[in-house]
Structure 1
Amino acid sequence: MSVSISLPLRLYVPGRSVSAPVHHAPETARKTPRDLRRFVFPVLAVGAVFQAIMQTVMVPLLPSMPGFTGAGPTAVSWLVTSTLLVGAVMTPIFGRLADMIGKKRMLLVAFGLMTLGSLICALTSEIGLLILARGLQGAGAAVLPIGMAILREVLPRESVDRSIAILSSTLGIGTAVGIPFAAAIVQFADWHLLFWATAAIGAGVAFGAWLVVPESKTRTGGRFDTVGAAGLSAALVCLLVPITQGSMWGWTSPAVLLTFGASVVLFALWGFQQLRNRNPLVDLRISARRSVLAPHLSALLVGFAFYGNTLITTQLLQASSAHGAGYDLTILEAAACQLAASFAMMIFAIVASRITERSGPKITIMAGALFLLAGYAVHAVPGKPLWAVVVAIFVAAIGTSLVYCTLPVLLLGAVPLSQNAAANGVNVLLRTVGSTVCSAVVASVLAAYALGGGSGIDTAGFVVAYLVCAGCAVVVFVSAFALPSRQSPRPVAD
């Protein structure tokens, strides 16, 4: 017989203290043997890399997908847009559900949806089904915040910060690995093989998570905020659809202006509803604290800057030097250059945690912003040799790693344990929004500097695009002054 125990938990609400039940997992729940728990972090790390690969795996295929599917460029663009949209919508929802009903359960749901999406992509070339499948893969964006919350419960306190920092870096590692991985398969084999491979990886990771990840010790219970979830979903769709489609529809077209206007109204209504709800999807009072708001702002800006390091540079490397700027590289050669970012993210994930332990999170964030700025300063130099491009990729990725690895550690000390997955879900959501905005801005900037007849892009276009990303790094550096000099102690909810 299952026994559910509720204990009072002190929650952080400005000006008052509120008690909310914390539901411990049933005594009869399947327990993970202690000798298997040492595999929890490796399984979560592989899963996080896998979900990051899913976000970028379609990028090298996009130019060829109209020929593979018989669909037009606008329809094909939704193979990326649908993944970003669903990821943005589902990340905070899955994070909240993980806190409520169990982190392991929602982790397995996310892995299952990603694997199902890969299977559909492997079995069809019909554009409608492919867009649906890519949307299912977008649910994997929730893996990172849920994984961080699991590590906070499972690992000894002295190991949590470093493990979460490394897990956070897997987002950049997977993004940098996904492009060459996809490019190699597409160049030498049928593109469907790519998704057979990801389906196998997804099934393996899901089984590994089921086997080694323990049940959640702490669950908030309560009633799920269905109205808040629907409101946030509608507001995000109205925000992100015109951002991703604006260059095709026209930035001053009625469709773009109306959907942007609708997003403003919906976000305002959603915020009002969240403040009045006793069980909100996102606790805006906690999110408004300086210790939480500053990491969220940094996530938005670094998401923009990081994606620019991949998106702009990939196009520059493949462009023809005979028409504007370019290095005449093949898809695979250009993708191989991005491996520099993977190496930087892997190496400096550990460095980030050590800097934070010794000097505090503010110093780590500032150092990351300076590395980003230095990387984009090199990127913005026209006519540089190829080796300098690779150096710029590496340096900018160092900055991304330092910031990405520090943000979840900051949130650990700023939010109660019962809201950890939800808070990290919002942080990952803002990274996704930053990347989506970057895609739209880069497309618009490069289109403005396109040469006659679409033969290429003027060098100035790439310089301007890189300088926009450098501006984001400057704002991250300035906003870091609002961060605490030393990491906050863990909330008493632990």
Structure 2
Amino acid sequence: MGMLETARRAGGCQDPSPSPGRTRAGLLARPRPFLLIATLSICGTVVSLQQTLMLPVLPGLPALLHTSVDNASWIVTATLLSGAVSIPILSRLADMFGKKRMIMVALALMVVGGVLGGLSHDLVPAIVARALQGASFVVVPIGIAIMRDELPADRVPLGVTLMSATLALGAGAALPLSGVIVAHLDWRSIFWITAVAGVASLLAIWWIVPESPVRSGGTFDYMGALLLSAAVTALLYALSKGTQWGWLSPPTLALTLIGLALLAVLVMVELRARTPLVNVVVAVRPGVMLVNIASVLCGFAMFTNMVGTMQLLQQSRDSGYGLGLDVLQAGLWMAPTGLVFGAWAPVAARIIRRFGDHAALLGGALIMAVTYVGRVFLSTELWQVVCGSVLVGIGVSMTFAAMPNLIMAAVPHTETASANGLNTLLRSVGSSMASAAVAALTTVLVVTIDGTRHPAFAAFEILFAIAAAASVVAAVVTLPLMRSGRPGAGASERAIGAEGDVHSVHGVDNRSVEGTAT
């Protein structure tokens, strides 16, 4: 009792002992693991779907909204920035006030954005709508934290794997679906579809998912939220506009320097905060820092696969290497990459249970590295492009399954949502870097054929080589983690050696509570 009382006072945690009503009525009402996993995974897929659904429509938006290409690009930029800001804030609030509650808030914002976008005929309302929908990005990291709280230990690897897979599963499904919408419906139907899907997800969460009693307590770090939001916005905006402005242009350099300076101030502020938005002491632990570095690199490799492959499939045959497919055809050939995430989830979960999270992360990174090396030389035939994309998808599936488990094994139980939120944010940074790299290479390296400019095939060769190098580095940073974890132990089955942590993950009756790391 003394240790638990000390942990509660230090971290502001609620009493982990279930109340009599919770013990009987709560356990009887607890959903089956499969139902909980399915509900959260479907919601994650819906969120990922709405993130990507607008991308194929973007080239036609300037004409549809009677605006410039630069202004229309804000439809995507606003979603990216909103997601980057909302992930750390809402995930921290989830740890403090309830994970189910914050998922419902995020999905409600997604529905409001869908309705606003469906009714809009001008640029500004459409941008606001997409910004509101960007808040739903946080559903995946909070959903992973809920699984850790609610699932039996032996089901956590499968649940986390499926939840992580939704990031690519929804993106893969969005590409052909967007093609169908563009061909047969008004473009604003995208907003209505996401609104309806959001309502269904909201009702499913309310009806099926229980609220976890694990809370961190404390007060919200408003200064940390302001600094982190400003820093991330400056850096991501510089990444998204670097190709257009020039990577060495004054605006790009100014935004980059401002973002880095704000991050430095954020670290100093968070070290002094009683309940920091970002627990810097925990974040610099090797078990957390190395996984977050791998997250940036794997996010780069994942998005390079999605964007690079789509461009290869849609590139004109006049370029000498393109396959000349339209949006719908290219989306259908990308579907196997998205489906492999879901199909590979049980395999990845078995690998984690048998060999450990570290081995899964290392193996997935090596699969991506080897595949990307092959894609440098084998990317001219349709079967080569599709097979290469699917193999990268298998590697990404393994890394995405392992990283949340490794993060949760290295942080207090009361910080799982916020720690996974930061990991997801860094993955988004990696994706933004990949998007910038694709745009820069395909703009700089071009060939002119019959008076028409096309990206040179060398641009894709260099892109895949960079992705291979990123995957190799991700594998290298995993090696120190191999020494810290015993084979065959998933994160959900290991005790955390952090000071003040008390672990137990086998249901409500022995739910774990940790004090806030200081």
TM range, smaller chain: over 0.9
Indicate yes or no: 2:165 matched with 1:160.
Answer: no
Normalising by structure 2, we get a TM-score of: 0.89
Normalising by structure 1, we get a TM-score of: 0.93
Indicate yes or no: 2:91 matched with 1:100.
Answer: no
Query: Alignment partner of 2:411: what SS?
Result: coil
Distance change in 2, residues 1:110/1:457 (3 Å): same
Query: What is the letter of the counterpart of residue 495 of structure 2?
Result: R
| Number of the residue aligned with 1:464 | 462
35-44 vs 61-70, greater mean Cα deviation = 35-44
Query: Partners in 1 of 2:478 and 2:358 — Cα distance?
Result: 6
Of the three residues 42, 62, 68, the one matched with 1:66 is 62
266-275 vs 38-47, greater mean Cα deviation = 38-47
Of the three residues 178, 183, 188, the one matched with 2:184 is 188
Indicate yes or no: 2:439 matched with 1:434.
Answer: no
Query: Partners in 1 of 2:32 and 2:55 — Cα distance?
Result: 36
Indicate yes or no: 2:495 matched with 1:490.
Answer: yes
1:301-340 alignment runs, 5 A limit: 301-340=297-336
| Number of the residue aligned with 1:34 | 29
| Number of the residue aligned with 2:515 | none
Q: Give the superposition deviation at 1:413.
A: 1.5
Distance change in 2, residues 1:113/1:31 (3 Å): farther
Of the three residues 37, 40, 53, the one matched with 2:49 is 53
Q: Give the superposition deviation at 1:381.
A: 2.1
| Number of the residue aligned with 2:71 | 75
Distance change in 2, residues 1:383/1:149 (3 Å): closer
Query: Alignment partner of 1:217: what SS?
Result: coil
Query: Partners in 1 of 2:208 and 2:5 — Cα distance?
Result: 29
| Number of the residue aligned with 1:350 | 346
Distance change in 2, residues 1:328/1:227 (3 Å): same
Query: Alignment partner of 1:456: what SS?
Result: strand
Query: What is the letter of the counterpart of residue 435 of structure 1?
Result: S
Q: Give the superposition deviation at 1:433.
A: 0.7
| Number of the residue aligned with 2:414 | 418
| Cα deviation 1:248-301 (Å, max 9, x = unaligned) | 112122111111111111000000100111110011111111111111111111
Distance change in 2, residues 1:101/1:473 (3 Å): same
| Cα deviation 1:381-417 (Å, max 9, x = unaligned) | 2662101111001000000000000111112211111
**Aligned residues of 1:378 and 1:388 also touching (Cα < 8 A):** no
> How many residue pairs end up in the alignment?
483
**Aligned residues of 1:318 and 1:330 also touching (Cα < 8 A):** yes
Query: Partners in 1 of 2:317 and 2:223 — Cα distance?
Result: 53
Query: Partners in 2 of 1:64 and 1:270 — Cα distance?
Result: 40
**Aligned residues of 2:39 and 2:205 also touching (Cα < 8 A):** yes
Q: Give the superposition deviation at 1:188.
A: 2.2
**Aligned residues of 1:374 and 1:396 also touching (Cα < 8 A):** no
Alignment RMSD: 2.1
Q: Give the superposition deviation at 1:37.
A: 4.9
Query: What is the letter of the counterpart of residue 178 of structure 1?
Result: A
Query: Partners in 1 of 2:6 and 2:476 — Cα distance?
Result: 36
Of the three residues 263, 278, 291, the one matched with 2:259 is 263
| Number of the residue aligned with 1:121 | 117
**Aligned residues of 1:305 and 1:438 also touching (Cα < 8 A):** yes
Of the three residues 16, 19, 22, the one matched with 2:10 is 19
Query: Partners in 2 of 1:48 and 1:186 — Cα distance?
Result: 24
Q: Give the superposition deviation at 1:178.
A: 1.4
Q: Give the superposition deviation at 1:154.
A: 1.4
Distance change in 2, residues 1:324/1:135 (3 Å): farther
1:234-383 alignment runs, 5 A limit: 234-381=230-377
Quote the sequence identity (%). 35
Q: Give the superposition deviation at 1:24.
A: 5.3
Query: What is the letter of the counterpart of residue 473 of structure 1?
Result: S
**Aligned residues of 2:322 and 2:380 also touching (Cα < 8 A):** no
| Cα deviation 1:99-136 (Å, max 9, x = unaligned) | 00111110100111111111122111311111111111
Query: What is the letter of the counterpart of residue 276 of structure 1?
Result: R
Distance change in 2, residues 1:33/1:199 (3 Å): farther
**Aligned residues of 1:274 and 1:283 also touching (Cα < 8 A):** yes
Q: Give the superposition deviation at 1:32.
A: 8.5
| Number of the residue aligned with 1:479 | 477
Of the three residues 175, 183, 186, the one matched with 1:179 is 175
Query: What is the letter of the counterpart of residue 464 of structure 2?
Result: Y
Q: Give the superposition deviation at 1:9.
A: 5.5
Distance change in 2, residues 1:97/1:9 (3 Å): farther
In structure 1, the gaps of 5 or more residues are 1-6, 12-17
Query: Alignment partner of 2:11: what SS?
Result: strand
Query: Partners in 1 of 2:5 and 2:232 — Cα distance?
Result: 34
**Aligned residues of 1:235 and 1:262 also touching (Cα < 8 A):** yes
Query: Partners in 1 of 2:59 and 2:28 — Cα distance?
Result: 48
174-183 vs 229-238, greater mean Cα deviation = 174-183
| Cα deviation 1:178-210 (Å, max 9, x = unaligned) | 111112211222212222111111000001101
Query: Partners in 2 of 1:180 and 1:470 — Cα distance?
Result: 27
| Cα deviation 1:358-377 (Å, max 9, x = unaligned) | 11222211210121123222
Query: What is the letter of the counterpart of residue 474 of structure 1?
Result: V
**Aligned residues of 2:358 and 2:402 also touching (Cα < 8 A):** no
Query: Alignment partner of 2:7: what SS?
Result: strand
Query: Alignment partner of 1:476: what SS?
Result: helix
Q: Give the superposition deviation at 1:325.
A: 3.2
Distance change in 2, residues 1:185/1:378 (3 Å): farther
| Cα deviation 1:312-366 (Å, max 9, x = unaligned) | 1111111112135311101101111111212221122211121121112222112
Query: What is the letter of the counterpart of residue 132 of structure 2?
Result: L
Of the three residues 411, 436, 455, the one matched with 2:453 is 455
